[in-house]
Structure 1
Amino acid sequence: MILTRLFPAAGFLTLSLPLIRAQTEPFIPFNTFIQGVQSATYAQWNSTAVESSAAFDTIKAHILSMYNGIGNISNTFVLDVEYADCVDIYKQPTVRLLGVDGIQSAPSNGSHPDFSEGDGHTFNYTDSPLKLGLTDRFGNRISCPDKTIPLGRLTLQKLTRLPNLQAFFAKSQDGSALPSLPSKGVGRRRQAELTRRAGEPHLHAVGYQYITNFGGNSWLDLWNPIGDFSLSQQWYVGGSGGNTQTVEGGWIVYEQKFNTKNAVLFIFYTADNYVSQKCWNHDCPAFVQTNNNWFLGGPWNHYSVSGGAQWGFEMQWKLYKGNWWLFLKGPGSYEAVGYYPAKIFNGGQLSKNAEIVEYGGEVTRFDPSHNWPQMGSGALPSAGWTRAAFQRSIFYIPKDESGGVGVWTDLSTVVEATLDIS
């Protein structure tokens, strides 16, 4: 990976999103789905990866808790393989289960610093499929009405692909999902990426900067790498040791969890160094979504092509009055998508500010017999434009304010590798 304002992340092969598939399975209405969860027993699911009857009961209880009191579902659609139910913005799980008292109004996004990079390269902004007037293979509108948000369906099929609920929430099999950065200003524990403990290491190629910040921004080149787990993302990190906290987001290929080989949009947080206070997207009550145009956990309609068109999107995180706001940008303006409320950080460092910004790629494999996944496009930075994946327009946000102008990052790099590249 090359880590500068123009940040080539380590390109290979891309696949078109199959928005329309052969209709080989029936459409499952929301009420039918809930009834199926309510009546499910461990005996029906003991051939899955779930580790025990107790683990199954915990998974089932979590699903029912997330949907208890959800109210009327105004529309359901299927994007690729993922069901999305359009739920009332005020009845989404985080608002109900965390007792959020009034949904906050979004600040304005931070703007790019006044500087023209002038590289002459042309890249394309991919848009959310929910904004394109599409219908799914069952004839349902791929969109949600105003005052609702698309909620990725938490199914037993999805959760029982992993041994227990904590594994479903987790980013790493061994609890380590941050790159190993040199200590500077913040005491970062030495991560386990370079040693094999309980499972395979997570390997990274990132650019980082130790700087007091209130979020940041980058444009992420969007690919479909091959392998068990591969992503391109942003990290905003504060605290140390067991009190390490992060806000993260980007795109990921993780078929074991998302049941698709296509890269999907994701966000992630941890308030306790990836131990128990952590989860993806809307998998637990943590993120308050305010925008009906973006589907967390959903795929895209364009991906970059090796030697061809480069597609991507802009992501920005912004800490404003204690809440971590997510902004996304396709061909139009930035849109506020929602926020992590301050209360989930329990008065920790990210309730005040972040101390590190990081941008880059992360891979792991789930079995030593598997090939290591491609990172980004699968090509090294030396392959150059249209072949190596990258991030660009990378800046951090220096103040807790609505609007404001970012500051270009001054990134150092770290690349974690393994001699075993089979």
Structure 2
Amino acid sequence: MAEPLGILPLRSFRDTVDKEQFTAARRDPRARVVSKQSFDEMKSHLLELYGDLDAEHSFEDPAGAEVDCVPIESQPSLRGTDGTIAVAPDLGPVLRGEPPQVPAQQAPRAPVNFHRRDRHGNEVYVPSGTIPIRRVRLADMARFATLSDFMRKSAGPSPVPPSAPDPDTGKNHRYAYTHQTVDNIGGHSSLAVYAPTITSDQVFSLAQHWYSGGTGNAHQTLEVGWQVYPAKYGHANPVLFLYWTADNYQSTGAYNLDSAGFVQTNSAWTIGGALSPVSTKGGQQFEMEHAAYLFGGNWWVYAGGTSSSDALGYYPTSLYSGGQMASKATEITYGGETVTSAVGWPAMGSGEFASAGWQQAAYQRNLYYYPTGGGAQWAGLTAEQPSPACYTLQLGAAAAPWGVYFFYGGSGGGNC
């Protein structure tokens, strides 16, 4: 196996993690880790996460993040299991009112070649039988106060009265979103991908799906979409992200593959990896198509389509510990979310308000959900724009390929 050019091999990377010291990490002006104890917890988590993993190939993504291609059966989420990997259902028949079609077995995972080389000269490809995993570095984690802060996303959409940023970042989430209370086993939309600017005093801007159920501390979610989050990812590019929580963002849940949970089955996508190209105002629009579907005891997530081969992977329902999401969701939500830390809220979507419309404002289209009884239904959504001075949303419906859709976004500011 050839060593990657300009990238520390994964096995050597583990050795450097083991040797890293709190005092050295704190010299980075971006570091926020609060104590040696918190730093050591981060270190222990990384050493456990990567364990005895080895990569068959490594390369850098467009934003400079290291990506390791590891055997699919060795991924952290399969440790402690018998190694059986579920087979994804094809959701095409569901739109015709038929049951999902399940292949007899997963198609062989052929190499995925992106036909380019990274800045070091490494070929950007994923060998057969492996999945690409974005490497999490201790320096990434040390930009957060604690390990739990690194893992946590915080509560989902709720109306918030306009106010200036609060010292408690948890109070600084702002939204423009649509929702429907309905029993469901998933849903679908295509999201325009943009790259809103996030300053050093801001946290993130995203667009996503939420599938959720339960109330209070029993609130549970599955979330998927794109996100610009420089403190977490170390760059200003949008990334494909996942998130889950089983206890209202308290002690469970994690982004992407940052902790065991999501079982990735698709070699064509790097979860947490930079997305390119992105949409431009007044120009070409680039989309991500996502779906979620509960089948066979797993919440499947799809990217780029809804066929079996488009399945990104799955969250086992055992993660929800018998809570609402172990059997179905009761709410579907689609929209945008931003967070700030000190000065003002960042742009959402393209930075244009919903009224700017096509090729100017960001959008989601072709929104439908999967009822518990089978088939698919157009979403009957309610629009919420709790911070209209900063972010707006306009719902609509049209012929294919739009279906139920909405434009959303805004410039942000200091009084959202």
Partner residue of 1:180?
A: 158
| Distance in 1 of aligned mates of 2:215 and 2:146 | 27
Say if 2:184 is the partner of 1:213.
Answer: yes
1:296 corresponds, among 271, 281, 288, to 271
Q: Equivalent of 1:308, from 258, 265, 283?
A: 283
Which residue identity lines up with residue 361 of structure 2 in the other structure? A
More strand by share: 2
Partner of 1:66: 49
Aligned to 2:37: 54
Please point out which of 133, 142, 145 is paired with 2:124. 142
| CA deviation after TM superposition for structure 1 residue 32, in Å | 2.5
Task: Tell me how far 1:350 sits from its aligned partner.
Answer: 0.6
Q: Aligned partners of 1:246 and 1:197: how far apart in 2?
A: 26
Indicate if the aligned counterparts of 1:94 and 1:100 stay in contact, CA closer than 8 A: no
Provide the secondary structure at the position in 1 that maps to 2:14.
helix
Q: Secondary structure, in 3 states, of the residue corresponding to 2:319?
A: helix
C-alpha contact (below 8 Å) 2:90/2:306 kept by paired residues: no
**TM alignment of 1:219-258, pairs within 5 A:** 219-227=190-198, 228=202, 229-258=204-233
Structure 2 residues not aligned, in runs of 5+: 97-111, 391-412
Tell me which of 77, 81, 86 is aligned to 1:104. 86
Per the alignment, in what secondary structure is the counterpart of residue 206 of structure 1? strand
8 Å CA contact 1:219–1:312 kept in 2: the answer is: yes
Find the aligned partners of 1:134 and 1:211 in 2 and give their Cα distance: 44
Residues 113-158 of structure 1: CA deviation (Å, up to 9, x unaligned)? 57xxxxxxxxxxxxxxx65322211121222112111111121111
Structure 1 residues 354, 100: closer, same or farther in 2, change over 3 A?
Answer: farther
1:106 Cα shift?
A: 1.0
- The one-letter code of the counterpart of 1:354 is A
CA contact (8 A) 2:22 2:36 kept: yes
What is the RMSD of the two structures over their aligned residues, measured on CA atoms?
A: 2.3
Using the alignment, how far apart are the partners of 2:182 and 2:319 within structure 1? 23
1:108–1:193 CA distance, 2 compared to 1 (3 A)? farther
* Counterpart pick for 2:376 among 406, 410, 414: 406
Pairing 1:163–2:145 present: yes
Relative contact order (alpha carbons < 8 A, sep ≥ 6): 1 or 2 greater?
1
- Residue in structure 2 matched with residue 397 of structure 1 by the alignment: 370
Q: Does 1:204 align with 2:182?
A: no
Asked if 2 retains the 8 angstrom alpha-carbon contact of 1:212 and 1:354, the reply is yes
CA contact (8 A) 1:244 1:272 kept: yes
1:12-58 CA distance string (max 9 Å, x none):
xxxxxxxxxxxxx9432223211111111222213321110000110
Kindly provide the CA deviation profile for residues 225-284 of structure 1, in whole angstroms up to 9, marking residues without a partner as x: 112310000000011100000000000000010111110100100011000101100001
Please tell me whether residue 93 in structure 1 is matched to residue 73 in structure 2: no
Q: 1:332 to 1:340 in 2, by over 3 A?
A: closer
Letter in 2 for 1:275: Q
Q: In the comparison of the two structures, how many residue pairs are matched?
A: 363
Task: Give deviations 1:337-380, integer Å, cap 9, x for gaps.
Answer: 1100111111111110000000000001121x2x3211100101
- C-alpha separation in 2, matches of 1:131 and 1:390: 30
Partner of 1:306, secondary structure, is coil
- Give the superposition deviation at 1:330: 6.4
- 5 Å-filtered alignment, 1:346-385, equals 346-367=321-342, 369=343, 371-385=344-358
Equivalents in 2 of 1:316, 1:56: separation in Å? Answer: 36
SS of residue matched to 1:36: helix
Distance 2:370 2:265 in 1: 22
Is 1:33 matched up with 2:28?
no
AA aligned opposite 1:140: N
TM-score (norm. length: structure 2): 0.82
Displacement after TM superposition at 1:168 (Å): 0.6
* Cα 1:342/1:194, change in 2 over 3 Å: farther
Equivalent-residue separation in structure 1 for 2:70 and 2:6 (angstroms): 22
Q: How does the TM-score come out when normalised to structure 1? A: 0.81
Check the 8 A contact 1:217/1:316 in 2, yes or no.
Answer: yes
Identity %: 36
Which deviates further from its counterpart, 52-61 or 292-301?
Answer: 292-301
Alignment correspondent of 2:65: 82
Cα distance, 1:61 vs. partner? 0.3
Compared CA separation, residues 178 and 100, structure 1 to 2 (3 A): farther
**Superposed CA offset, 1:59-111 (max 9, x none):** 000000011132x3100110022111111111101111x53651111111256
Structure 1 residues 419 and 220, CA, compared in 2 at 3 Å: closer, same or farther?
closer
Change (3 A) 1:321 1:419: same
Q: 1:165 to 1:100 in 2, by over 3 A?
A: farther
